[in-house]
Amino acid sequence: MGITIGRHAAEEVFQRALHLARSDAELPAEWIERTDRVASSGNKTFTPVLGTALLAKATDRHIDAFSLREDGSHKSYSARSLAKDVFVPCCKVADIDIRTTGAEPLNNQPFLRADRIGVEMNVRRGTEGDLAYLCECLARADFLENETAVAALAAFLRARIKATGDLEEVGIEGRPLAMIRLVDSVAAFVEAHSEGGKVGQAIVAAILDLVHKEVRTRKINDPGRGWRGDVGAFVEGRISLSVEVKQRPFTESEVLQFIDRLGADRVPRGVVAALAQGGVHLDADRVAEGATRYGVALDIVVGVRRLLLDVIRHIPGDPHEAMALLPKLGLQRLKEIEASEAVQRAWVEATTE
């Protein structure tokens, strides 16, 4: 059995560290530097992982900084519970940006089902070095105890407080492009930006916002969802349209699996949004016809331009007025899915003048 970290004790330690972070006290430059470097990773979850580990070490010096579950060993603890119950809410109250907005960041991949953090974890291509550096930081954290651990946590918080203050809120300042130019610009934007599929998913959700009153999407790699697909349109709380989005080529097998899931869940309509199909062949007509056997009306849309033009035809009222809302809707969805600020700015530049 591992170590249980009491919520009250951890909250007291967090407040002590926060007081230090906001004071003029000298704090270890090593942990400010380490925090900034971890926060530069493309994997945003690495930041709350480091902060949670530092809070755990500052609360109980015996814990294993690499631990994720309490039942892993006699030094293990539940990092997920500490993050959910103490670290995340305390940072939210203190208005500290930890690069994720969900209540349970350690439920994201690659940490979801793991017992312990390690360099062998399967992460998105290009972030393997970031994971190795996170593990190096956790190895250093394992030697912290008592006041040195509190000081390291305070340094982490000071670095994130500075980052929160430095972060500019991206907003819409210019006028939306005219409708035809906007269609072309949105298509070019999605072709040029992906961020692991975040961009395509966010923009598809924004496009559906033009014709549906309730559209839901989810964060990439977040298993917590109540429907099949990446984006869903709902009517009176029930899903009426499910959309699977990819910024890489779909295989026919993936489409068939999606149809099977929709049929099993009795979802009446589905869309496969193939935003980067390239030269990979997909027999859209044959697959869509086969979907009718499952009671599913399926549309396979190749490219965001085609999706936009289809949606424009279904906009009630003046489509020019509706399309003028797309820059704002797209920005809201990019923020919701935690796309980078650089991508948010690129979207504003691409859709306004």
Indicate whether 284 and 140 sit together in one domain.
no
pLDDT at 319 over 80: yes
Domain boundary, last residue among 121, 136, 166: 166
Residue closest to 68 by CA, chosen among 87, 53, 90: 53
* DSSP assigned state of 129: H
* Angle of helix 7-22 versus helix 46-59 axis, rounded to 10: 110
Q: What is the pLDDT of residue 22?
A: 94
The residue whose two tokens read 């509190």 is 150
Indicate whether 150 and 198 sit together in one domain.
no
Local confidence band at 224 (pLDDT 50, 70, 90 cut-offs): very low
The reply to whether 174 falls in a domain is: no
Reported as type and span, the H/E element at residue 345 is helix 341-351
Domain boundary, last residue among 118, 142, 166: 166
The predicted-structure confidence for 72-85, as pLDDT tens digits, reads as follows 788 999 999 999 99
The reply to whether 1 falls in a domain is: no
| Sheet of 297-302, strands arranged across | 214-217, 231-235, 238-246, 269-274, 297-302
Answer positive or negative: Cα dihedral of 230, 231, 233, 238: positive
Indicate whether 24 and 125 sit together in one domain.
yes
Higher pLDDT, 290 or 78: 78
CATH of the domain at 215: 3.40.1340
The reply to whether 173 falls in a domain is: no
pLDDT, averaged across the chain: 90
Indicate whether 104 and 201 sit together in one domain.
no
Higher pLDDT, 223 or 79: 79
Indicate whether 186 and 120 sit together in one domain.
no
Question: How far, in Å, CA of 343 to CA of 170, rounded?
Answer: 10
The residue whose two tokens read 């900034």 is 36
Query: Residue 198 phi/psi, 5° resolution?
Result: -60, -45
Question: How far, in Å, CA of 336 to CA of 353, rounded?
Answer: 24
The predicted-structure confidence for 269-280, as pLDDT tens digits, reads as follows 999 999 999 888
The reply to whether 2 falls in a domain is: no
Domain boundary, last residue among 115, 138, 166: 166
The predicted-structure confidence for 85-129, as pLDDT tens digits, reads as follows 999 999 999 989 898 888 888 887 788 888 899 999 998 888 999
Indicate whether 136 and 256 sit together in one domain.
no
Enclosing domain of residue 238: 179-351
Per the structure, the count of domains in the chain is 2
* DSSP assigned state of 145: -
Question: How far, in Å, CA of 90 to CA of 179, rounded?
Answer: 44
Indicate whether 262 and 319 sit together in one domain.
yes
